[in-house]
Structure 1
Amino acid sequence: MQIEQMSATFGRLNGSQLDLQPELNVICAPNESGKSTWCRFLQNMLYGVPTKERGLLADKNRYAPWSGSPMQGRLLLRNGDARYTLLRETRRTSAPMGDAHLTYTGTADPVPGIPAAEAGQYLLGIPREVFLRSAFIGQNALAMDQDAELERRIAALISTGEEDASYSESYERLKKQLNARRANRSTGQIPALEQEIAQLEDALARQESLREQFNAAQLRLQDTQTRLEELEQQAAQWQQLERQAARRQYEEAQAALSTAQQQYRQLEQRCDVLPDEETLSQLEGQATALTQSIAARRQATEQAAQLRRQADEAMARCTAHPLSPADGPQLQSRLSALTDPPAPSKLPLPVGLLLLVGAVACVLLHLPVYAPILCGAVGAAALLYDIVSRHRHAKAKQQADDQRSTLQRQIAEYLPLLTEAQEATRSADAAAAAAEAMAHNDQAQLLALLARVRAFHSTAVDLPAVQVALSAARRSRAALRSAQTAQEQAQMYCRLLEERLPQGELPDPAIPLPRPSRSVEAMRSAIPEAQAQLAAARTRLDTISGQLQAARDPSELTAQLAEKRRKLESLQSEYEAIQLAMDALSAANQTLQNRFSPALGARTAEIFSALTGGRYDKVLLDRTLALSAEPSGDPTPRSIQVLSQGAADQLYLAVRLAICQLVLPPEKHVPLILDDVFASFDDQRLAAALEWLLQESQNRQILLFTCHDRERTYLAGRPGVHILTLNGGAVCSR
């Protein structure tokens, strides 16, 4: 079979069309441009959209058209000389693409003998499960697992050619029959029957036990009745003792009440002169506040004394300074009085220079000798005078600057000392005044407090005495409250005892009564226990009697037990026969696997050797399709788990291609669809795989979807290669 054209409204594809050619079709497209969508569309066109799947990942939800249009598609197919059109449309939202039509291309005539809904099964000759595990290789899906449909194909290939038998399905049916008889110790027909037999045996044993228990229950009932009568007699004696004790307790409570009332009256008389609770609390608060104030005053007095010492020390440092006792304005006046000395006369220097010039002129003019000598001497004297005057002025100015600098330094030292002494004196005076004010306030508060306390305690003369008086008053008030509480409790206790006094005449406390051998606590627990034991003994006797009356006939139980034992033997024989059949089926399946695995392994080894450039020459696989490979010249097999990702993908691809060649019907020429399967292949491995696909495309149509340019670059210009480019669903042929 060959796919000529695909048209899809499916997921991101909205009326998109893909034209295909025989042999090798390379469809190039970047990620998220619809490659996998085209692959899933082709699968669902051939076999229909699975409607039993649920959730967002179900095809009917995941590939719902983005445009909002109904899901639909069309395939133009060539099957030998015939050309078919497979059309799937959506009539009901619950069954997307559920309306299928298979007609001859260009006509409306349906193709006879091929149900359109199962077109893939008839056109490809394989069910969906075999197609997905052989000719359809999706993204990251090179690895494969066992399947019942694939198993049928393999069994048909190596045995009778019939595909209606599967080892796993037959084995599962036998296993269900086996589990129906015994799945484990607790489930199955055999355990249920064993349980019924045990129940019958237990019923017969219980009947014998019930007869023995009935006799023992009768004896138990008689003993319990005798013991209860003895306990009730002793209980009556204890009741008389309790009535006597109740009268004695009531009389003692009356005496205690009288004593409490007398103590309360005495305390009440003593507390008449004392202040009430609120006044007492106020006085205690004032005394506490006064105590705290006195402590604060002492601290303030100590602080004032410390500040006074600090002020005296500061004043002493200020007085010891050379500028003391001058103040700031006086020091500024002294600083201003220091002025610079007058500048020297500016005349001698020009005069001296003029005379020197005259002397030179006299020499040049040949004047008498005395004239230049006189002019030179006078000029030199004038110059000498100017130099001496300037030296004296500079010295005087330096002395004035030194005096001013010294005075400024002393002022800078003296003024902070003066300020510190003044501030310390003011702080000391303020602290002394505050301490004195606190002393006057404490004295006034003490006098006011003494005036109130002497009203009930005349000997109080100071604060400690006041505190002692207040403590004594508080204790008296507390004692009064305690006495009042004791009196109220005694009254309540007397009323309670009076209400609980037994009716009738009470025994005289002075007359002794006999005491039972058991304690009252033992009696209180023994009588209910004996009554409960008596009731239990009666119930037990009645229960056993009823069970004996309701029990089934022992002869009937014996007959049922024999019947169930015979049935158990039959089920056990069936169980052993089914188990034997399962063992035989497993042995037969192992034989089939031993026949098929070498063939599949040999074909896989040929392909794997071609893909790896001869690096591996042997492939081994078991009935679960677990793979291992042997490198050339090394007999040690390498599990696929230890191979590199690229080598493992090559091995998976090889076994897939081998299964396609061995399992797929050769007359159907089932197309091979690959979706980005070479992602982990390096350039050398990719070249080997593409060369093999070129060779295989002579036997079947191949659709290779890829997101890389390596395949297009390698295959460009090769005969039998048709390269397509997808861009957001659009198709561009090259």
Structure 2
Amino acid sequence: MIIKKLYVNRFGKLKNLHIELKDGLNIIYGENEAGKSTLQAFIKAMFYGMNSQKKKIRENDRKRFLPWSEEKASGELYFEDDYKNEYMIKRTFGKKRREDESIVLDAITGKAVGHIDHDIPGISIFGLGEESFEKTVFIRQLMSEVKRDKEDEIMKRLTNLKNSADEDVSFYKALNHLEKLKKSLIHSRKTGKIDKLKEDYAKIQEEWGEGIRLQEENLEDQIQLNEKIEQKRMLQHRINQLEEKKKKWKQLRIYKEYKKLIEYKNKIKKLLKDKESLIEQLKFGNDCIDEVFIENIKAKKIQWMKQKNICDIKKVHKESLEARIEEKKDYLKDNIKNIWKVLFLGIFIVLGGFLLGWTKNAYYYGLSGIGIVLFIYGFKKKKSVASMMKQMEKELNNIEKAFQVQKESLENIKKEMMRKLRPFYKGNIEIEQIDPILKHFQELLNKKIEIERQIFTLEDIYQSLLQGRDFENMKKAFKSFTEELEEIIDEESIEALLKEEVQKLITLEKEIKDLEHRVQTRFYGRKNIAELEEEMERIKEKIGNYEDVLASLDIAIETLQDSFKEIQKSFGLKLNKVVGDILREITKNKYDALKISEDYEVKIIDSKEDQIKDIAYFSNGTWDQIYFALRIGIAKLIIGEEKTIPLIIDDAFVQYDDKRLDAVLRYLYQYAKEHQVVMFTCQKREIEKLKNFSGIHVIYL
């Protein structure tokens, strides 16, 4: 079987890469970071998928080689089987395994093939699981060492070379099965059947011991419970006695309140009587003196005072005007006399002027004109004085009328005040007496208001003391009550003692409930002693049976291990020989004998020193040579001569010196004549050393 073509669409850093491989030795050269290891991982992924669940990126191909661009990894691999049939594996890889797609097609017809597993085609093609593939023909960079895997497929197949053709027969499988059976009975983590039975036995034994202890505790609690119940009975009797005393004290307290009620009731009655007396003094018929009445009288008094002031002012004004008019009259009288003189003088001059003008000379008529002027002046002056006198008399008359009106108004206000006050005051009332009278009325009214306030306060206290009770009922209840109880009852001591006893009762009742609960529930959900003892016997019997089985398993394991050692002598010699032949060839006869354990631990037989040495004593280069020989040897034994499987190597010889490299390249050249070899390298020395060999196919990345 050979790999013919690789088409990488997207895988890690590789993109749109096409590579053709040939039969024989193929060398893929590339510098560091060119993608050689990525391409080798691509080949394995095409055959076995990406199955690692490890968290480290270096150990998880899916995390390591999925493109960062969120694209899916994909590609195609063409191969030819031993019968010259050509097939194509086409795969796509997503972020998770369920997103993967895989199909195997016939490269000629394009139809899906049925005899090859599409998910893990490597098993169908090579006959090897993924672990065995990686430990034989798939050698990663600096990872040539071989270790036993969990399924141990390689050791199983090597063992079957000398025994059975049945692939399911395996020493380790049988041993593991026996060990599992043994672990199912007894385990270091205490999860076996015997472990669990012993644990159950210990628990039941502990429960049995606990049950005995609880029985004793229950007996003690029952005795204590009986004592507490008796204490409660006696305490309840004392509380009842105190309650009776408290009841009597309460009656006394209510009686005292009743007496207070009577006292307040009498005070209220007396105040109501005083109030009625005051009302009588402040009342006449339907009229009653109140704040409004007093305020009205005060307002009338103020109005009268204002009117009195106005009247006095007008009286003074009138008298002043009369005096001025008298003075003016005297003055006018004097003026009238003078005016008459002027009039007579004017008439005389006029008559004299006419007479002289007529008799003596016409110029004397001018004197008549002067007389006329004097006459007219005197006439007007007289008229003016008369008008002034009339105006003054009119003004005086108006003032007199206004004064009379003011006097009447003043009198009316006084009459109104007298009318309102007369019913409440016997005898004549003068204006000067109004203020003392009002003061007396105000004092009576204030006294009435104070009495009403006292009545309101006392009634409020009375109702507070009454507390909604019926006074008449209280009166009947305390008709024959005496205060003798006051001498034998102490309120504070009763309350304090009662509170103390009640608190004791509450605490005692809680203790009784706790004891009753403990007695009733102590065995709740628990088995009785007899049941526990029967169960302990059954478990002891089961443990004995399982311990017999365990002893049988130990004998079987010991027998199987002895048998395997005998079988190992057969296939171990063959494996040692095949690997030794390869090692001799690649070390140029330096080492040819070795011993390989079932865990692939290798020891070298040094013929020169006649010693068996552990591989750890050898150099890294020798180490790589030994494990390279071991891988090829195992592949030859488990695959056989009929099948040809490609050998895929990634820089496996970086620790080889030139001599070792020459030897291993010569071996690979011969090996490639029957098996395809795909060797990845970043060293040009491999190419230089193989350039003289024919049929070498070199590919540059």
Q: TM-score range by the shorter chain?
A: 0.5 to 0.7
Provide the residue aligned with 2:47 in structure 1: 46
- Aligned partner of 1:5 in structure 2 is 5
**Which of these residues, 594, 597, 616, is aligned with residue 569 of structure 2?**
594
Equivalent of 2:531, from 549, 552, 556?
A: 556
State whether structure 2 residue 681 is matched by structure 1 residue 702: no
Q: Shift of the alpha carbon at 1:52? A: 5.0
Partner of 1:498: none
Separation in structure 2 between the aligned mates of residue 142 and residue 185 of structure 1, nearest angstrom: 36
Is the deviation greater in 548-557 or in 37-46?
548-557
Tell me, in whole angstroms, the C-alpha distance in 1 between the residues paired with 2:532 and 2:93.
Answer: 65
Which amino acid is 1:565 matched to? K
For 1:187 and 1:51, locate their aligned partners in 2 and report how far apart those are by CA, in whole Å: 29
Cα distance in 1 for partners of 2:635, 2:492 equals 113
| Residues 538 and 115 of structure 1, relative CA distance in 2, 3 Å threshold | closer
Distance (whole Å) between structure 2 residues aligned to residue 627 and residue 673 of structure 1? 23
Q: Counterpart in 2 of 1:303?
A: none
- Shift of the 534–166 alpha-carbon distance from structure 1 to 2, 3 Å rule, reads farther
Could you say which residue in structure 1 is the equivalent of 2:89? 87
User: Residue 24 of structure 1 aligns with which residue?
Assistant: 25
**Cα separation, 2, equivalents of 1:577 and 1:174:** 10
CA distance in 2, matches of 1:620, 1:171: 23
Instruction: Quote how far apart the aligned CAs of 1:113 are.
Output: 1.9
- Residue of structure 1 in register with 2:378 after alignment: none
Question: Following TM superposition, by how much is the alpha carbon of 1:539 offset from its aligned partner in structure 2, in angstroms?
Answer: 5.3
| Aligned counterparts, 1:137-536, within 5 A | 137-147=139-149, 148=151, 149-184=153-188, 186-214=190-218
- The residue number in structure 2 matching 1:71 is 73
Alignment-mate amino acid for residue 582 of structure 1: I
Structure 1 residues 547 and 677: alpha-carbon distance in aligned structure 2, compared to 1, 3 A threshold: same
User: Aligned Cα RMSD in Å?
Assistant: 3.7
Report SS of the residue matched to 2:85.
Answer: strand
Find the counterpart in structure 1 of residue 126 from structure 2: 124
**Distance of aligned partners of 1:7 and 1:202 in 2 relative to their CA distance in 1, 3 Å threshold:** closer
Q: Tell whether the 8 Å contact from 2:117 to 2:123 is kept in structure 1 after alignment.
A: no
Map of 1:623 onto structure 2: 598
Conserved 8 A contact 1:78-1:84: yes
Q: CA deviation at 1:579?
A: 3.2
Identify the residue that residue 100 of structure 1 maps to in structure 2: 103
State how far apart, in whole Å, the 1-side matches of 2:126 and 2:538 are: 57
**Cα deviations across residues 30-60 of structure 1 (Å, max 9, x unaligned)?**
1111211221111111222327566645323
CA contact (8 A) 1:221 1:534 kept: no
Distance 1:113 1:558, change over 3 A: same
Q: Could you tell me how far apart the structure 1 residues matched to 2:130 and 2:202 are?
A: 51
- Per the alignment, in what secondary structure is the counterpart of residue 616 of structure 2? coil
Give the structure 1 partner of residue 555 of structure 2. 580
Deviations 1:153-175 (A, max 9, x none): 22222321222234444433433
Residue 650 of structure 2 is aligned to residue 670 of structure 1:
no
**Secondary structure, counterpart of 2:617 in structure 1:** coil
Deviation at 1:630, TM superposition (A): 2.1
Q: Which amino acid aligns with 2:43?
A: L
- 1:611 deviates by 1.9
The offset of 1:183, in angstroms, is 1.1
Q: Deviation of residue 564 (structure 1)?
A: 2.6
- Distance of 1:89 and 1:548 partners within structure 2: 67
- In 2, distance between residues paired with 1:682 and 1:539? 89
Q: Which residue of 1 aligns with 2:692?
A: 717
Letter in 1 for 2:4: E
SS at match of 1:641: helix
Q: In the TM superposition, what whole-angstrom CA distance separates every residue of 1:216-243 from its partner, at most 9, and x where no partner exists?
A: 5567789999999xxxxxxxxxxxxxxx
Return the alpha-carbon distance in structure 2 between the equivalents of residues 651 and 91 of structure 1: 36
Which amino acid is the alignment partner of residue 179 of structure 1? K
TM-score by length of 1: 0.53
**Residues 560 and 4 (structure 1), Cα distance of their counterparts in 2 relative to 1, 3 Å cut:** same
Match of 2:613 in 1: 638
- Deviation of residue 678 (structure 1)? 0.5
* Mapped partners of 2:492, 2:121: distance in 1: 110
Superposition TM-score, scaled by structure 2 size: 0.55
Residue 689 (str. 1) matches residue 664 (str. 2): yes
- Cα gap change, 1:200/1:4 in structure 2, threshold over 3 Å: closer, same or farther? closer
Distance change (3 Å), C-alpha of 1:641 and 1:26:
same
Q: Describe the shift of the 1:505–1:134 C-alpha distance in structure 2 as closer, same or farther (beyond 3 A).
A: closer
Query: Are residues 106 and 542 of structure 1, via their aligned partners in 2, closer, same or farther at CA, if it must alter by over 3 Å?
Result: closer
Aligned mates of 1:158, 1:74 — CA distance in 2:
39
Q: 3-state DSSP class of the match of 2:637?
A: helix
Mean Cα deviation higher: 209-218 or 693-702: 209-218
Q: 1:577 to 1:535 in 2, by over 3 A?
A: farther
Written as runs of structure 1 = structure 2, the 5 A alignment for 1:642-657 is: 642-657=617-632
Contact 2:74 2:93 in 1 (8 A): no
Which ranges of structure 1 fall in alignment gaps of 5 or more residues? 229-502, 507-527, 727-734
Distance in structure 1 (CA, Å) of the matches to 2:201 and 2:141: 59
Deviation at residue 80 of structure 1 after TM alignment:
2.7
8 Å contact kept, 2:48–2:119 = yes
Aligned residues: 433
CA gap of 1:226–1:593, structure 2 versus 1, over 3 A, is same
Cα distance in 2, alignment partners of residues 84 and 680 from structure 1:
37
Distance 2:524 2:118 in 1: 73
C-alpha distance in 2, partners of 1:595/1:569?
Answer: 40
1:660 corresponds to: 635
Measured against aligned partners, the alpha-carbon deviations of 1:476-517 in whole angstroms (never above 9, x if no partner) come to xxxxxxxxxxxxxxxxxxxxxxxxxxx9999xxxxxxxxxxx
Report the secondary structure of 1:158's partner residue: coil
Alignment-mate amino acid for residue 122 of structure 1: S
Letter in 2 for 1:121: I
Q: How far 1:114 moved relative to its partner?
A: 2.1
